[in-house]
């Protein structure tokens, strides 16, 4: 077993060796511009792009490959979807609905639109991290043009009821955008069954290269029209101009192909590893809490809060040998709880002590066992120095004797 162990797959994933092999020819031998229509170099590049587009469309059950629009990544896809709908349908309405725990690419885009005269409703979530469908229904008005709710949260891994959201949106004639970055390639995403109109995807969250993403844009039932953000050249149905990154697109397509073949088996394996990790930690330590729903959750996600432990000290003790991330956004001067954890109303003490474990394709059972031992050891060391923990143990011991 090689250290350090990587367990931060929600931040990014390593490029699968099979993806890299597929990409390599397109850096040198097959270097053509996919928009060059008069010679073989361009034709070969265009064919490679078409194959990749078809695989990505197949992965999410899009009706046609042309519904896949390539972007530089999920942040651009989120911007293109939300701002594109806002600009295209501003005369129809100026109201957008999203959730309080969306990725910053969605939240910051919505806040920008608020400066442009749009009204945004930020739906709260319950203790499990789920929106309430009744809240969504009540928030809809005659001016609502877009609902944007993510499928899987990037911090706590919770899965929103996207099929039900899509049904509500369709019944009211409202567009539904879903940031499915953490879900695509890991769990089934069916844009037609889930009644999604726009879906953001990123290659580097599914063992593909960084710097390439896609936006699914439904072509019919209903046709989804968006205004472009980037102009010049008319690439990608005129929705996203710019020379296509052919090697990255080829890698994206290969990553999608692998996911189609291996997703079911991989998800089951990751769920077993995650539960082994959770059970192992909670067996050895008390006062450890799972953040977000354990039932409606990505198979490889585990977000835990460790009571009576200072979060930054815990993270420093772990990350010497295990790459994980904290639920807190830390700077050198201050440490503020994650807005996602705040939305769960955990209480300040638990909000500051969370650790996100993101298991992935290349993690092993041996790595999980090492992680359990390391986490348990560090937490016990820190709690041994905690007067609050000692006091809590004393109080619980007294209560048990009564």
Per-residue pLDDT tens digits for 8-41 = 999 999 999 999 999 999 999 999 999 998 999 9
pLDDT at 329: 43
**Helix orientation angle between 246-284 and 365-384, rounded to the nearest 10 degrees:** 50
Confidence of residue 67 (pLDDT cuts 50, 70, 90): very high
Question: In the CATH scheme, what is the code of domain 17-259?
Answer: 3.40.640.10
**Res. 328: pLDDT tops 60:** no
Coil, helix or strand at residue 205: helix
CATH number of 5-9+263-401: 3.90.1150.10
Every domain of the chain and the residues it spans = 5-9+263-401, 17-259
Half-sphere exposure of 171 (CA within 13 A, CB side): 9
Beta-bridged to residue 199, according to DSSP, are: 178, 216
pLDDT confidence band for 330 (50 / 70 / 90): very low
Contact 147, 98 (CB under 8 A): yes
Q: For the whole model, what pTM was predicted? A: 0.95
Please name the helix (run of DSSP H) or strand (run of DSSP E) that holds residue 85, with its range, or none: helix 74-88
Q: Which pLDDT value is given to residue 349?
A: 86
pLDDT in tens, 219-272: 999 999 999 999 998 899 989 999 999 999 999 999 999 999 999 999 999 999
Q: Are 158 and 297 in contact (CB under 8 A)?
A: yes
The fraction of the chain above a pLDDT of 70, given in percent, is 98
Q: Is the pLDDT of residue 331 over 70?
A: no
Active site residues: 330
Supply the mean pLDDT for the chain. 95
Confidence of residue 327 (pLDDT cuts 50, 70, 90): low
CA distance 263 to 270: 10
Query: pLDDT by residue (tens digit) across 268-314?
Result: 999 999 999 999 999 999 999 999 999 999 999 999 999 999 888 99
The answer to whether domain 5-9+263-401 and domain 17-259 are alike in fold is no
| pLDDT for the residue numbered 335 | 60
Return the axis-axis angle of helices 311-318 and 365-384, rounded to nearest 10°.
140
Q: Are 277 and 300 in contact (CB under 8 A)?
A: no
Taking a C-beta distance cutoff of 8 angstroms, is the pair 361, 16 a contact? yes
């Amino acid at each position: 077993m090689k250290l350090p162990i990587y367990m931060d797959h929600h931040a990014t994933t390593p490029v699968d060796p099979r993806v890299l092999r597929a990409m390599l020819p397109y850096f040198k031998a097959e270097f053509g511009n996919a928009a060059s229509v008069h010679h073989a170099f361009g034709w070969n590049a265009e064919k490679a792009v078409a194959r990749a587009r078809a695989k990505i469309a197949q992965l999410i059950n899009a009706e046609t490959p042309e519904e896949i629009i390539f972007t530089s990544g999920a942040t651009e896809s989120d911007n293109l979807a939300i701002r594109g709908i806002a600009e295209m349908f501003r005369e129809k309405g100026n109201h957008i609905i999203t959730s309080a725990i969306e990725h910053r690419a969605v939240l910051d885009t919505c806040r920008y639109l608020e400066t442009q005269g749009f009204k945004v409703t930020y739906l709260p979530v319950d203790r499990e991290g789920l929106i309430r469908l009744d809240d969504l229904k009540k928030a809809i008005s005659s001016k609502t043009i877009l609902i944007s709710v993510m499928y899987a949260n990037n911090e706590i891994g919770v899965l929103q009821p996207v099929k039900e959201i899509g049904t509500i949106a369709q019944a009211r004639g409202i567009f539904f955008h879903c940031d499915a970055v953490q879900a695509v390639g890991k769990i089934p995403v069916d844009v037609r069954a889930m009644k999604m109109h726009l879906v953001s995807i990123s290659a580097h969250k599914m063992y593909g290269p960084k710097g390439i993403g896609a936006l699914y844009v439904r072509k019919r039932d209903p046709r989804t029209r968006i205004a472009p953000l980037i102009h010049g050249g008319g690439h990608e149905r005129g929705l996203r101009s710019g020379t296509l990154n052919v090697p990255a697109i080829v890698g994206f397509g290969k990553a999608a192909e692998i996911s189609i073949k291996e997703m079911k088996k991989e998800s089951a394996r990751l769920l077993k590893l995650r539960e082994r990790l959770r059970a192992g930690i909670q067996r050895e330590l008390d006062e450890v809490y799972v953040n977000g729903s354990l039932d409606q959750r990505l198979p490889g996600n585990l977000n835990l809060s460790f009571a009576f432990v200072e979060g930054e000290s815990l993270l420093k003790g772990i990350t010497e040998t295990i790459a994980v991330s904290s639920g807190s956004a830390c700077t050198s001067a201050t440490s503020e709880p994650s807005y996602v954890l705040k939305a769960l109303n955990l209480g300040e003490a638990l909000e500051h002590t969370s650790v996100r474990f993101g298991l992935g394709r290349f993690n092993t059972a041996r790595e999980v066992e090492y992680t359990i031992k390391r986490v348990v050891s560090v937490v016990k060391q820190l709690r041994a120095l905690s007067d609050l923990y000692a006091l809590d143990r004393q109080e619980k011991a007294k209560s048990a004797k009564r």
